[in-house]
Amino acid sequence: MAKDTVTSEDVAKLANVSQSAVSRTFTPGASVSETTRERVLAAARELGYRPNVLARAMISGRSQLIAVLVAYLDNQFYPIVLEQLSRSLQQHGYQVLLFMTDPGNQDQMVQKMLQYQVDGIVMASATMSSTLARECAQTGIPVVLFNRYVPALPASSVTSDNLTGGQLVARLLVKAGHRRIAFIAGAENSSTNRDREAGFTAELAALGQRLWRRGIGGYTFEGAAQAARDLFAGDVGPDAVFVANDHMAFAAADVIRDELGLRIPQDVSLVGYDDVPEAGWGGYKLTTVKQPGEQMIEETVRILVEQLESRKVVKHEAILPSHLVIRSSARLPDAETLASLAGPGTAGTS
Amino acid sequence: MAKDTVTSEDVAKLANVSQSAVSRTFTPGASVSETTRERVLAAARELGYRPNVLARAMISGRSQLIAVLVAYLDNQFYPIVLEQLSRSLQQHGYQVLLFMTDPGNQDQMVQKMLQYQVDGIVMASATMSSTLARECAQTGIPVVLFNRYVPALPASSVTSDNLTGGQLVARLLVKAGHRRIAFIAGAENSSTNRDREAGFTAELAALGQRLWRRGIGGYTFEGAAQAARDLFAGDVGPDAVFVANDHMAFAAADVIRDELGLRIPQDVSLVGYDDVPEAGWGGYKLTTVKQPGEQMIEETVRILVEQLESRKVVKHEAILPSHLVIRSSARLPDAETLASLAGPGTAGTS
DNA sequence: TTGAAAGCGCTAACAA
DNA sequence: TTGTTAGCGCTTTCAA
């Protein structure tokens, strides 16, 4: 950034045109004659000119920057989402400005984002205070909560149908004959956990059962491992465990098999949520509920781009369907029930 | 970004000071009296003023943006690196501008980065043409190749000692009595694969053995699975497989156990590289070589920040030590040999 | 289609 | 310590 700085003026001089002509050449849809256009392009190439996006952003008010907030990247669901999101946004001419949130500094973070004049915000695996959301809304920046849902917030949200997902798991487990069904919760204040658990317990109740025991994993690997230990601490343990996401389910599996010496699914059934790649790996073969990550990303980008182009922020709420992915970590009910639970393409993807 | 736009001038007016006074208040280390400072801060708070980083960047020539290029995020090594890198950079006042590279559009990508006036570049799991590297060097932007090493490039690099890592694995396998040792390579043109393989085969030779068979996984899960199948295709398969990274080793493990019905390590020893979290999980308990990710990040940030602050770009080359992590996917040699191979803290971390 | 001119919001000399 | 004055590199009226 030292002395190189080739500006549009340098190009203009070399091409013998006005500086505006250079600007127009690099502005899609501006009116330039083919001749000047070529002259400018030639000069630009010769000098190695690169338009300064920051300068453009200042005047046009569009930075082409999308802030993406993520709380952690160790649960594989999020890296994959981040990769797809980033690629898709790039395709639309936007770049991802990454923010790793700390539980404490959310407010600071949002200030930073706004300072960078980001055109839009995606909040994945991160909570946002209503004050902050309101602040964003005020500045007219579209916000999409990814995999989060907060009715009171003036922000769009894209989620999958966690309620139904939870229900499906309940039905699967009950119909397979389980009678001591436990649940390991994620973060208590997250909408994902709330909905998955609500659907799960509601369906349990509908089928005449109650949750046999409940642990809290907080969506962390270690938290889930401890929760699993606690769940099995008494004389008799659960015969099935539903874990609020795959990442925690792996921890539970390790405890159940390696520490407790129990077999999955012969001694205890295990079901996760998300369908991250590892769930399909041979080490776990986890029966789980698939969140349609790709569709969720597509929807997120659609909402964002639409609002960016129309310059109108409207609250959207997309809830995409999720379905069971049957592998071999949970005992199966009879074929008929199984078929009724099966979503599209439920056949054990690996 | 619509009408909100509270500028420093608005704040100045309200605080009854000059616009420069406002600027100074928000510039660390500028000279402002305590009185004006407070007046400005109060006015700023009242109006909800946020300095425009872009405008600042334009004049100061420092965007506080670091471009991070990554090719994929499905190998857990990279998300974790990205998370730490981002956090560390944030702490130093920089933000990560994320670029997901496609094999084809590397050039475009670098153009984009330069257009955004990034202050520095980190290339992780991505190759860079020498032309591009030179272009960056010319503009005076520090570039750090993370986990890549290209001698000819005018870019710093941070790697771990892959040569020694490969050697350690060879010694472990040979000393454990293996005689049909195979290798599954990553990307042929990557320095990581080259060094790991070079160290491996060199040590094999030193111990009087040759590579029994070789496959190519290209650092992808599916590629590695296929390579594993091919490796075991004949009448007699390998009795040990060294895989160029953990991510591929999991694929190999699945093929070996689930498709071939062999036991690890009783029938075949398996060793990976990286020590990603999943390697410690119960489903794999993978013996592997640990890359010191955290130290590598620290070093990367150190190099970057130092060059940014001194405004002098110098080529640095850091090679950090790696060591074996013994778990249970590979047969063990006698205790004495094992002890000699053991790096610091080799005790099976889980 | 083109050029001149007026800024976008800010920092950084320079005087005062 | 302060205010004044130039711009940073670009887009965008407005005339020509």
Residues A34-54 have pLDDT tens digits of: 999 999 999 999 999 999 999
Domains A3-51 and A61-160+293-320 are alike in CATH topology? no
**Global pTM value:** 0.94
Q: What strands lie across the sheet with A213-216, from one edge to the other? A: A213-216, A181-185, A240-243, A269-271
CATH of A61-160+293-320, one of 1.25.40.10, 3.40.50.2300, 3.40.50.1950, 3.40.50.920: 3.40.50.2300
Q: Would you call A63 and B74 a contact, using CB atoms and an 8 Å cutoff? A: no
State both tokens at A239.
């015969």
- The CA-based angle A138-A139-A145, given to 5 degrees, is 80
Low-confidence ranges of chain B (pLDDT < 50): 1-3, 345-350
Q: Which residues contact A125 (CB under 8 A, 6 or more apart)?
A: A70, A71, A72, A75, A78, A146, A147, A148
- How many angstroms is C1' of D16 away from CA of A61? 29
**Residue B36: CB less than 7 A from any atom in strand D:** yes
pLDDT, position A186: 96
Nearest by CB to A100, from B3, B86, B141: name it: B86
Superfamily of domain A3-51: lambda repressor-like DNA-binding domains (1.10.260.40)
pLDDT, position B344: 53
Q: Which residues pair with A97 in a beta bridge?
A: A67, B97
Nearest by CB to A138, from B4, B95, B140: name it: B4
Q: Which residues contact A217 (CB under 8 A, 6 or more apart)?
A: A184, A185, A186, A223, A224, A226, A227, A243, A244, A248, A251, A252
In this structure, are residues A300 and A259 in contact, taking their beta carbons and an 8 Å threshold?
no
Nearest by CB to B2, from A80, A140, A282: name it: A140
The distance of A236 to chain B (nearest Cα, Å) reads 23
Return the domain boundaries, chain B.
3-51, 61-160+293-320, 162-286+327-341
pLDDT in tens, B86-101: 999 999 999 999 999 9
Low-confidence ranges of chain A (pLDDT < 70): 1-4, 126, 343-350
d(CA A51, CA A60): 14
**Residue A337: CB less than 7 A from any atom in strand D:** no
In this structure, are residues B71 and B125 in contact, taking their beta carbons and an 8 Å threshold?
yes
In this structure, are residues A276 and A292 in contact, taking their beta carbons and an 8 Å threshold?
no
Contacts of B264 in chain A (CB under 8 A): none
d(CA A65, CA A303): 15
**Residue A52: CB less than 7 A from any atom in strand D:** yes
- Three-state SS for chain B is CCCCCCCHHHHHHHHCCCHHHHHHHCCCCCCCCHHHHHHHHHHHHHHCCCCCHHHHHHHHCCCCEEEEEECCCCCCHHHHHHHHHHHHHHHCCCEEEEEECCCCCHHHHHHHHHHCCCCEEEEECCCCCHHHHHHHHHHCCCEEEECCCCCCCCCEEEEECHHHHHHHHHHHHHHCCCCCEEEEECCCCCHHHHHHHHHHHHHHHHCCCCCCEEEECCCCHHHHHHHHHHHCCCCCCCCEEEECCHHHHHHHHHHHHHHCCCCCCCCCEEECCECCHHHHCCCCCCEEEECCHHHHHHHHHHHHHHHHHHCCCCCCEEEECCEEECCCCCCCCCHHHHHHHCCCCCCCCC
Query: Check: CATH 1.10.40.30 for B162-286+327-341?
Result: no
d(CA B317, CA B329): 33
Q: Which segments within A244-297 are labelled E, that is strand?
A: 269-271, 288-290
The full DSSP string for A291-326 is --HHHHHHHHHHHHHHHHHHT-----EEEE--EEE-
Count CA atoms closer than 13 A to B53's CA, side-chain side: 20
- How many angstroms is C1' of C16 away from CA of B20? 15
d(CA B39, CA B12): 9
In this structure, are residues B303 and B144 in contact, taking their beta carbons and an 8 Å threshold?
yes
The distance of B115 to chain A (nearest Cα, Å) reads 5
Q: Would you call A83 and B95 a contact, using CB atoms and an 8 Å cutoff? A: no
In this structure, are residues B289 and B262 in contact, taking their beta carbons and an 8 Å threshold?
no
Contacts of A98 in chain B (CB under 8 A): 68, 82, 86, 95-98
Query: Which of B26, B63, B68, B83 is most worth mutating to test chain A (most A CB atoms within 10 A of its CB)?
Result: B83
d(CA B245, CA B169): 12
Q: Which residues contact A297 (CB under 8 A, 6 or more apart)?
A: A81, A84, A85, A88
Q: Which residue has the tokens 């082409």?
A: A64
Query: Which of A75, A95, A132 is most worth mutating to test chain B (most B CB atoms within 10 A of its CB)?
Result: A95
Long-range contacts of B258-261 (CB under 8 A, 24+ apart): B258/A282, B259/B229, B260/B232
